[in-house]
Amino acid sequence: MTPVTRLVRATGALRRLLPALLATTAGGATAQAAFDGTWQATVVCSDHQSASGMVAKGYTLVMDATVRQGWLDGQYGKPGSANSLRLSGAIQADGQAILMAEGFTGNPQYSIDRVPSSSRYSYTLKSRFEARRGSGQRVEGRPCEAVFVRP
């Protein structure tokens, strides 16, 4: 078989598969778009005693988050400054999401082992979304929960 014959056959096979691939991609995008819009995110972390014995006070953060094409993005506080948190990540068509939480600590009384204000921190939230509500659990570090509601 010549290289040209191989290319023609491959192009034909691709042409037959392309509609199925596009339909799958479009269907997934449509399902993910079902979560698009404005959400209110509430992150609640309870008091937590670290291995060193120090107790970090609990806190609650409430922020608006936007989902566009299945991607959630929310910001508490001013980006890059003390006492801030950004939530971001993809929501799958079935509502499952692993969200990344990245921020900077505020008052040391609320931080594990009383790290200084403006210390960078991050963690992941294993989350699940439905049409109007969602919830998530912090994977690493102190126990925290998140609740997502469409206003």
As a three-state string, the secondary structure of 43-54 is EEECCEECCCCC
pLDDT band at 33 (very low <50, low <70, confident <90, very high): confident
Strand-pairing partners, residue 119, are none
Q: What is the pLDDT of residues 42-101, one digit of tens each?
A: 999 999 999 999 999 999 999 999 999 999 999 999 999 999 999 999 999 999 999 999
- Say yes or no: domain 34-149 is CATH 2.40.128.120: yes
Q: Which of 8, 6, 69, 74 is nearest to 39 (CA)?
A: 74
Report the pLDDT value the prediction gives residue 127, as an integer from 0 to 100. 98
**What does the domain layout of the chain look like in residue ranges?**
1-33, 34-149
Q: Are strands 59-68 and 37-45 parallel, antiparallel or unpaired?
A: antiparallel
pLDDT band at 14 (very low <50, low <70, confident <90, very high): very low
Q: How many CA atoms lie within 13 A of 66 on its CB side?
A: 3
Q: Are 117 and 105 in contact (CB under 8 A)?
A: yes
Class of residue 17 by CB neighbours under 10 A (exposed 0-12, middle 13-18, buried 19+): exposed
Please state whether the predicted TM-score (pTM) of the whole model is above 0.85.
Answer: no
Is the pLDDT at 143 greater than 80, yes or no?
Answer: yes
